[in-house]
Amino acid sequence: MKKRKNIITVAIDSPAAAGAGTQAKLISKNYNLFYLDTGKIYRYIGMLKLNNNNKFTYNLVKHKISKLKLSNLKNRKLLSNEVAKSASEIAKNKRIRNIVHKFQQRCAYSPPKNYKGSVLDGRDIITVQVKDAMFKFYITASLKVRTKRRFAEYKKLNIKITYKEVLKSLRNRDKSDKKRKYGPLKKTKDSILINTTKLSKKACFLKIKAIMDKKLNN
Ligand code: C5P
């Protein structure tokens, strides 16, 4: 893969439902950057596991990821809690993470020419995938606020789930994503912390934009 030169790279990590996806989309729109929600790739593989339980092999994953189109990641079924749980399980696996790595590298460093760069969000973006990003953010929010937000999203999507189930699922995923051996979620010293607990989407974006504009206009 040939890396494009002089592009803007933005790397974001966050626990589930902290608002990283919303901010990444706003960043991509404002700066004309290619956006990849890397969690969707793990969800895609998590769903593959749920649908092919005993036929789920590394070769199957490799094959599917080699043919993966961004439109595949728009499937609404990927948004369910069962798929999220399955994604968090398969994401512990080093071989699976290596398969996903290549796809993410292409999106981060060689985005389509009509974009000025890329923005990726996930769990290991600032630590592994785009370590040398021009901008590195760690977005977080309290577990209570994240649960409220995710519960409201599920309601809007007509997904039947209780508040307690959402809370439990987020708590378990936080633990698993932070404690796992490969690509654990963690804040790095060179990343900027954005706590969205008490911030509106707009206030949060303005904070990020001020940081980015300062560097880009220098
Ligand atoms: O971001 P989202 O909640 O959609 O991610 C689903 C799961 O995928 C996470 O809980 C995490 O285990 C995994 N993931 C990961 N590395 C990434 C993105 C997501 O391990 N870069």
The per-residue pLDDT for 21 is 98
Give yes or no for residue 136 CB within 6 A of ligand 1: no
How far away, in angstroms, is 91 Cα from ligand 1 center?
A: 7
Mean pLDDT across 109-133: 98
The per-residue pLDDT for 75 is 97
The per-residue pLDDT for 170 is 98
Is the pLDDT reported for residue 132 higher than 90? yes
Give yes or no for residue 84 CB within 6 A of ligand 1: yes
Mean pLDDT across 83-101: 98
pLDDT digits (tens, 9 = 90+) for 27-39: 999 999 999 999 9
Closest CA to ligand 1's atom 21: 122
pLDDT digits (tens, 9 = 90+) for 57-86: 999 999 999 999 999 999 999 999 999 999
How far away, in angstroms, is 196 Cα from ligand 1 center?
A: 19
Is the pLDDT reported for residue 53 higher than 90? no
The per-residue pLDDT for 54 is 87
Is the pLDDT reported for residue 114 higher than 90? yes
The per-residue pLDDT for 6 is 96
How far away, in angstroms, is 42 Cα from ligand 1 center?
A: 6
The per-residue pLDDT for 84 is 98
Q: Which domains does the chain have, with CATH numbers?
A: 8-196 (3.40.50.300)
pLDDT digits (tens, 9 = 90+) for 170-194: 999 999 999 999 999 999 999 999 9
Is the pLDDT reported for residue 90 higher than 90? yes
% of the chain surpassing 90 pLDDT: 98
Give yes or no for residue 154 CB within 6 A of ligand 1: no
Mean pLDDT across 145-167: 97
**What number does the ligand 1 atom closest to the CA of 120 have?**
21
Nearest Cα to Cα of residue 34 among 122, 110, 99, 123: 110
Mean pLDDT across 143-149: 98
Is the pLDDT reported for residue 161 higher than 90? yes
The per-residue pLDDT for 167 is 98
Give yes or no for residue 35 CB within 6 A of ligand 1: no
Give yes or no for residue 13 CB within 6 A of ligand 1: no
The per-residue pLDDT for 96 is 98
